[in-house]
Amino acid sequence: MSTASTSHALEGIRRAIPIVLGYLPVGFAFGVLAVKNGIPHGIAIAMSFLMFSGSGQLMFVSMWAAGASALSMTCAVGIVNLRYLLQSAAESVWMGGLSRSIRFLLGLGISDETFAVHVTALQKGWERNLITLFTCNHVAQLGWIAGTVLGVFCGDLVSDVRPLGLDYALPAMFLALLVLQCISRLHAFCAILTLVLSVGLKYAGMTSWNIALATILGASVGCMLSFRETRGNGHV
């Protein structure tokens, strides 16, 4: 491997480090819960390969434990995962000129976290690099799978992960990226509005819909205001 591609791969790993730190304890928790609720070891691990979605997989376990039907589980997980539709569309804007199969493979690697780091880097002017994108996506997913395997087979090894503080790794990462995302006053306003909406909807009991709905509403207001702003500037 040339030094250039090594450094691109290293950049991908650097991006994935906080994600992996956060995924290990959550993946571990998923593995423990899955086994406790009667999901076979192999299927729990396969889920981390094939779904790669923390909220979706945890919802799967709790609904399976509650004896829900396949249809209601599919609908519930589908609603929680609506946000991927938005993320995938937003990432597609930056993936022009790539072949369909490459974009398909990049789509498989989308999670809240990988989406957030890539789009933030691209908005800051990072020149897109496929080695970095794929390295980050797959290292992150390996972390997720490793956490699951540990939880499935060594669930009784760690009784409490809270003293390690790793349950805050992903919230902290989103916070850091959110600050970097606020590239204009309008973006910052959009962030505050969406945050309040998301918290309000979750508080009102919409724990599955809140992310997708708040995002759609917040982005729409931001978009409308930005057209107004450009029109206003046009008159000056």
Partner 1 sequence: MDMFESIVQTLTDGRTQQLLLCLLGCILVTVGPKILPITFLESSALPPIFRRWLDFVPVAVMAALVGSEIFFYDGVFNLSTTNLFLMVSIPSFVVALISKNYFLPIAVGIGLLILARHYGLT
Of 6, 40, 228, 229, which one interacts with partner 1 (CB under 8 A)? Answer: 40
> Pick from 178, 152, 156, 139: which is nearest to 61 by CA?
152
C-alpha–C-alpha distance, residues 106 and 88, integer Å: 9
Of 25, 32, 197, 208, which one interacts with partner 1 (CB under 8 A)? Answer: 197
The 10 Å CB-count burial string (b at 16+, else e) for 175-198 is: eebbeebeeeebeeebbebbeebb
C-alpha–C-alpha distance, residues 16 and 33, integer Å: 25
Query: Per-residue contact track with partner 1, 145 to 184, x per CB under 8 A?
Result: -----------------xxxxx-xxxxxxxxxxxxxxx--
* Segment interacting with partner 1, rule: CB under 8 A, options 2-10, 36-44, 127-135, 138-146: 36-44
Contact between 41 and partner 1 (CB under 8 A)? Answer: no
Q: Which of residues 106-145 bind partner 1 (CB under 8 A)?
A: 106-108, 110, 112, 115-117, 119-120, 123
Supply the minimum distance, in Å, between the C-beta of residue 51 and partner 1: 5
Query: Which tokens go with 229?
Result: 């702003």
Q: Which of residues 55-94 bind partner 1 (CB under 8 A)?
A: 56, 60, 64, 68, 70-71, 73-75, 77-78, 81-94
The one-letter code for the residue type at 178 is L
* Segment interacting with partner 1, rule: CB under 8 A, options 15-23, 25-33, 128-136, 144-152: 15-23
Q: How far is CA 115 from CA 41, 89, 112, 169, in A?
A: 29, 11, 5, 16
